[in-house]
Amino acid sequence: AHLPAPLEHVTILVRPGSEAKAEALLAAHRVAEASTVRGDIAGFLADAPDVVAECAGHGAVRDHGEAVLRGGCDLVVIAIGALADADLHARLEAAARAGGAKLVLPPGAVGGIDALGAARLSGLEEVTYLGRKPPRAWKGTSAETRLDLDALTEPTVFYEGTAREAARDYPQNANVAATVALAAGGFDTVRVRLIADPGITRNVHEVAVRSGCADFTIRLEGRPSPANPKTSLTAGYSVARELLNRASATVI
């Protein structure tokens, strides 16, 4: 990774028992001048972080999101699909207000969220999201109940519906659908198609927007993380950008 000046202090919250693995990763990648690994949320919050970034999954947002925000700490969430649960989203917003903190949603693996958010103010006519990944990225998901992933010979749409349902049913693969929906202001209005494509090696995201100020399409071909083919490398860099912006005088 090509990161500018390192952060001052990084504390990582892991599940109890995973501390040694996190220590080894920290030793291999110098992400901060100093670092700590914690196995419990109370110890983690006692370190009084300036900002917390969730990079773990929907369960972690549900388990720890409210405590972080109510404690007055901004929370950057990458498992954005967790917010398809309207009740959880409302509780996180209430906790943020009570704590004087912000729930921050970075673009993650997609782009154009700035333009979509601006276009929303001019009136959105249509927003669609298409998520296309190689079959191996859909292994272990409910796509397997709809398709024989190993037998695919051509691109196959296996889900067509709302962003809310997509985000809920594909928690490791459709966070982008939730991000687009939240930027567009409607989980139930953005139309989503999810595709398994044996002819590609990248995770492809396409957003098409028609609005009162501009029409645009954006297409990203994310390189999959070597550690997890469901996840594009872009997602991690997007969190890093958010954190580094907080340490900069100029935010871009």
Ligand X SMILES: O=C([O-])CC(=O)C(=O)O
Ligand Y SMILES: NC(=O)C1=CN([C@@H]2O[C@H](COP(=O)(O)OP(=O)(O)OC[C@H]3O[C@@H](n4cnc5c(N)ncnc54)[C@H](OP(=O)(O)O)[C@@H]3O)[C@@H](O)[C@H]2O)C=CC1
Nearer to ligand Y, 185 or 210 (CB): 185
Q: Which of 175, 183, 195, 242 binds ligand X (CB under 6 A)?
A: 175
Residues 185-214 contacting ligand X, CB under 6 A: 203
Tokens matching residue 228: 């997890």
Chosen from ligand Y, ligand X, none, partner binding at 222 (C-beta under 5 to 8 Å by type): ligand X
> Is 205 among the residues known to form the active site?
yes
| Alpha-helix runs per DSSP H in 29-174 | 41-46, 58-70, 86-99, 113-122, 163-169
- The count of other CB atoms within 10 Å of the CB of residue 191 is 16
Give the C-alpha separation, 125 to 201, whole Å. 32
Nearer to ligand Y, 58 or 89 (CB): 58
Place of tokens 């990582």: 12
109 in a known ligand binding site: yes
Chosen from ligand X, ligand Y, none, partner binding at 59 (C-beta under 5 to 8 Å by type): ligand Y
Residues 107-126 contacting ligand X, CB under 6 A: 109
If binding means CB under 6 A, how many residues of this protein chain bind ligand X?
A: 12
Nearer to ligand X, 49 or 222 (CB): 222
Give the C-alpha separation, 157 to 143, whole Å. 10
| Alpha-helix runs per DSSP H in 139-249 | 163-169, 175-184, 233-246
Nearer to ligand X, 141 or 211 (CB): 141
The packing angle between helices 113-122 and 175-184, to 10°, is 30
- The answer to the question of residue 35 lying near ligand X (CB under 6 A) is no
| Residue in 239, 83, 238 with CA at minimum distance from that of residue 175 | 83
Give the C-alpha separation, 46 to 41, whole Å. 8
Expressed in percent and rounded to 5, the helix, strand and coil fractions of the chain are 40, 30, 30
**8-state DSSP, 223:** P
- The answer to the question of residue 180 lying near ligand X (CB under 6 A) is no
Tokens matching residue 71: 């404690």
Min dist CB 81 to ligand Y, Å, is 6
Residue ranges that bind ligand Y, judged by CB under 6 A: 13-15, 18, 55-60, 63, 78-80, 108-109, 171-172, 175-176, 179, 225, 227-228, 231, 235
Min dist CB 22 to ligand Y, Å, is 8
Min dist CB 220 to ligand Y, Å, is 10
Chain residues binding ligand X by CB under 6 A are 109, 172-176, 203, 222, 230-232, 235
Q: Which residue ranges are tagged as binding site for NAD(+)? A: 109, 175
List residues with catalytic annotation: 205
